[in-house]
Amino acid sequence: MAVSSYIETDRIILPLRETNGPDGIRICVLPTEAQTAIFAARSIINIPIHKPDATVTFATGNTMVQPYAELARLTATMGVRWSDIRMNHLDEYGGASANDPESFARYLRERVTVPLGIINAHFMNGTADNLEHEAARYESLLTPADLVILGIGPGGHIGFNEPQTPFDSRTHVVQLSEETVSRDTARGQTKRTHAITQGIGNITEAAQILLIAYGKQKAEYLRPVLYNDITPDCPASALRLPGVGPKVSLLLDCEAAAWLNL
Ligand code: F6R
């Protein structure tokens, strides 16, 4: 296990432990969710600073609320410009309109594009008449991203690539797993059975992949990702494919990394 190190930010010292995971994956562990979110924002902001015209794919979900809030704060404090960054959408619920409070389009508008000042933003249309055509339209807009920001969900899904999704999949329409539907309805959301998602092929071709996770439940999802076989049974295990692992950083709080025994 790697030694603890400290990174100094604007008046914040983050106690970071960094270690090498399997197949070249870098694992960064911070004590709390709040510190993990701050570290995530620090990592993401390097993109507009070093490559102002980069393409970034943004996940949504509970995990990203704090990192994106911190990213907005940091952007304002540091005066970072996102105006030439291209924003891609990772996934969207079928049937969710851009103004629906549960839609990922609205989430990204409120937490990412408006606060960061991103103009070049490309949204999926969850209410398109034909979702298959919408997935194909979206796929035709994509080039490999400079950075993909991911969370992880039931069954080890990344984006909405549920178990058994082929590793070379491109943007497609997916039937959400029972586990994902139950999680979302337990959160009080509308029952939605379908979504559009960028495929595992889109995700793994990115130059850099950041996966953020906090809490004990995420530890359950992550363990097979790192220690079981690389198989479509566990979509996130694609992050260990040859040539992909060294591009991946996992940013975890202590609970999500419990099994790492740091
Ligand atoms: C959302 C997405 C999903 C979520 C995952 C975790 O855009 O791509 O893969 O990242 O379901 O969701 P939360 O963070 O809500 O636990």
Cα dihedral 252→253→258→262 (10° resolution): 90
- CA pair distance 202, 170, nearest whole angstrom: 6
For residue 59, report the distance from its CA to the centre of ligand 1, in Å.
7
- CA pair distance 226, 236, nearest whole angstrom: 9
Is the domain spanning 24-253 CATH 3.40.50.1360? The answer is yes
For residue 176, report the distance from its CA to the centre of ligand 1, in Å.
12
b/e per residue, 191-211, with b = 16+ CB within 10 A?
A: ebeebbbbbbbbbbbbebbbb
Residue of 68, 89, 106, 158 to test ligand 1 pocket, by largest number of atoms within 8 Å of CB? 158
Residue 261: the pLDDT is 63
Residue nearest to atom 12 of ligand 1 (CA): 61
Query: Given CA atoms 58, 63, 161, 258 in this order, what sign does their dihedral have?
Result: positive
For the CA of 218, the closest atom of ligand 1 is 16
For the CA of 180, the closest atom of ligand 1 is 11
Residue 173: the pLDDT is 98
For residue 158, report the distance from its CA to the centre of ligand 1, in Å.
7
Residue 9: the pLDDT is 55
Is the CB–ligand 1 distance for residue 124 below 6 Å? no
- Global confidence as pTM: 0.96
pLDDT in tens, the chain (262 residues): 444 455 555 667 889 999 999 999 999 999 999 999 999 999 999 999 999 999 999 999 999 999 999 999 999 999 999 999 999 999 999 999 999 999 999 999 999 999 999 999 999 999 999 999 999 999 999 999 999 999 999 999 999 999 999 999 999 999 999 999 999 999 999 999 999 999 999 999 999 999 999 999 999 999 999 999 999 999 999 999 999 999 999 999 999 998 876 5
Return the domain boundaries, the chain.
Answer: 24-253
